[in-house]
Amino acid sequence: MKKKWKNRNGNVGSYRTKTMLVMKMMFVFTCCLIFHLSAEVKAQLVTLKVKDASFTEVTRELKRLTGREFFYNHEEIPAGRAFNLDVKETALDDVLRALLGERFTWEYIDEMVVIHPARPANTPLQQQQRPAGKVTGRVVDEEGAPLVGVTILLKGTTRGVTTDADGNFELPGLDGSSVTLRVTYIGKQPVEIEARVNASRLEIRMKDDTSEIDQVVVTGYQTIAREKSTGAVTTITAATLEDRYTPSLRSNLEGRVAGLTVYG
């Protein structure tokens, strides 16, 4: 039989009701404690006097006085800048404001004070984010097959992307209404194309560059210029391999390449 208990008014309730009441009280107590600690951090009083000190030296002293770590970007607060300060029993917020002025803000996270540049007043957040423009598309060969690893660069820059296994690419973070792309791939003629930002997907078709193919040697583990190849090079075409049936490619190569020995 389920055990009952009586509340202050004499009403009978279950242990489940009592447990829920206790949990609610604990939640309210925890919230009050968090708010109290947050207010205590901001109201923490500091007595400090420094002259011609670097910001690193100042935060080291503040850490000693408050027990808190200070995090900031050293490029945003130059190391050569000198700080002078003479405060007594001053709130930590006021100390930081006297040091940094209105150009910086900060937030308290556990035992840390994280400092970062303040967002300019009346400036929409969207204007500070990376531009949302992008160009997307697909690169294929003359037969329409996707090309993997094609390099797509913004003309005149080193910024770019490569195509994935399906020949697709996406170049994000672009300004303006249009950009010029330079598309390159080994064995294909380079392509320069004017692309509209945020327009429909492009399809870029690349043609074979036979002169470039003749000048390179693919060894299976690297691609080098023919004139830089120091060893003998033998070319085996697909038509040659189809002359006879063998259970494996290694067996098919036996007797076709001078000096080739196949094991296994």
Give 108-150 pLDDT, tens digit per residue.
Answer: 887 888 888 887 655 454 444 555 789 999 999 999 999 998 9
CA distances from 14 to 9, 22, 24, 27, 85 (A): 14, 13, 16, 21, 62
Higher pLDDT residue, 175 or 32?
175
Q: How confident is the model at residue 38 (pLDDT cuts 50, 70, 90)?
A: very low
| The predicted structure's pLDDT at residue 139 | 95
CA dihedral 223, 224, 230, 234 (to 10 degrees): 50
- Name which of 48-62, 118-132, 162-176, 207-221 the model is least confident about: 118-132
Structure tokens at 29: 């107590």
Longest dimension (CA), the chain: 103
Is the per-residue pLDDT at 37 higher than 50? no
| The predicted structure's pLDDT at residue 151 | 92
Among candidate residues 31, 40, 55, the one with its CA nearest the CA of residue 108: 40
| The predicted structure's pLDDT at residue 260 | 67
Is the per-residue pLDDT at 225 higher than 60? no
Higher pLDDT residue, 126 or 101?
101
Instruction: State the residue for tokens 């094609």.
Output: 150
| The predicted structure's pLDDT at residue 217 | 55
Strands (E) across 26-120 are located at: 45-53, 69-71, 83-91, 104-109, 112-117
Structure tokens at 215: 């000048």
| The predicted structure's pLDDT at residue 158 | 80
CA distance 174 to 160: 11
The mean of the pLDDT values for the chain is 75
